Amino acid sequence: MSGSNREQEPSQVTVQKSFAPREKPGTLYLVATPIGNLEDMTFRAVRTLREVDLIAAEDTRQSRKLLSHFEIAKRLVSYHEHNKDASGPELIRLLQEGLSIALISDAGLPAISDPGADLVAEAVAQGIPVVPIPGANAALSALIMSGLPTDRFLFAGFPPRDRKGLARFLDAIGSEPGTILLYEAPHRLKKTLSALAAKWGHRRVAIVRELTKRHEEAIRGTAQACADYLEEHPPLGECCIIIEGTGGNEPAKADSDADSGGSESWWSSLPLHAHVKHYEEAGHPRKEAMKLAANDRGLSRRDVYQALLGEEQ
């Protein structure tokens, strides 16, 4: 699909009227499906799947179980990472002819960390209306139960599998102020958490697994504490990793320097008062500087305050 002819100029503005009457083209509906609990299927999602001409699914076997449960009898075709170059253009052709098509993934919102995003991009480029049918989403569900800040966040998908790729990936998001949302497979979770702990051992983390299912679980603590816990309690089920960001206050240097020159952190040779002064000289108020130093050292701000009082006396 990457080599298709796109008619719109990059600077051209287009306006989609999702529900305007028309015969052609058809509409691509992005229908959310449950992430574990079938009761999370919305009335609108069921109605849409019953009304469209065709349903494109990431895994047709899994999707047939869902459709059978809700007594939805529609033609089902496969669209996934390995056949998208062949299946995508055909779906676009059918949409251009006026058919309505629903795209569903195995669980949650389609086009999030799956090849549905490619189909959506092509539909938009061809002037085909794309309409979301909202529903469950694992990353946002994990975020809101994590206890970490929700006012700003970055969804970064699945981390790379290889060690060097994972290291580069973590370096790239290390200075992100907002909470970081990741997906991870259970057999790679320990390796990923170990890498997180090596870089940001003091940062707060929540590992959320089996969302909406009977064994739903949230493991909360510092990255190091969570990594240690996983050594004793191997995880099962797909997981979300929610990671504390820098909060917009911690200099990017704080994480990157700690990881570029060996195992010692950039502040390890500094006495506590010099550590706090470092942040004050960077423009942070004293209370904020104390909080940042406390985060670096895995201490509470009260511990830092008491220690500084002792140094000053």
139-243 CATH pick, 3.40.1110.10, 3.90.1150.10, 3.30.950.10, 3.40.120.10: 3.30.950.10
- pTM, full prediction: 0.75
* Domains 28-136 and 139-243 belong to one CATH topology: no
Average pLDDT over residues 144-152: 95
| pLDDT beyond 60 at 218 | yes
Angle between helix 286-297 and 301-312 (nearest 10): 110
User: What number of H helices and E strands is found in the chain?
Assistant: 12, 10
Decide: 181 and 240 in contact? Cβ < 8 Å.
Answer: yes
Reported as a pLDDT band with limits 50, 70 and 90, residue 9 is low
Q: Give residue-wise pLDDT tens across range 42-69.
A: 999 999 999 999 999 999 999 999 999 9
CATH of 28-136, one of 3.40.50.720, 3.40.1010.10, 3.40.50.300, 3.20.20.70: 3.40.1010.10
The pLDDT tens digits of the residues spanning 11-40 come to 688 999 999 999 999 999 999 999 999 999
In contact, 34 and 90? CB cutoff 8 Å: no
Give the integer Cα–Cα distance in Å for 60 and 65: 9
Span of 30-34, 154-158, 248-252 with lowest mean pLDDT: 248-252
pLDDT score at 21: 93
Sequence spans of domains, the chain: 28-136, 139-243, 267-312
pLDDT of residue 265: 65
What number of other Cβ atoms are within 10 A of residue 204's Cβ?
A: 21
Average pLDDT, the chain: 87
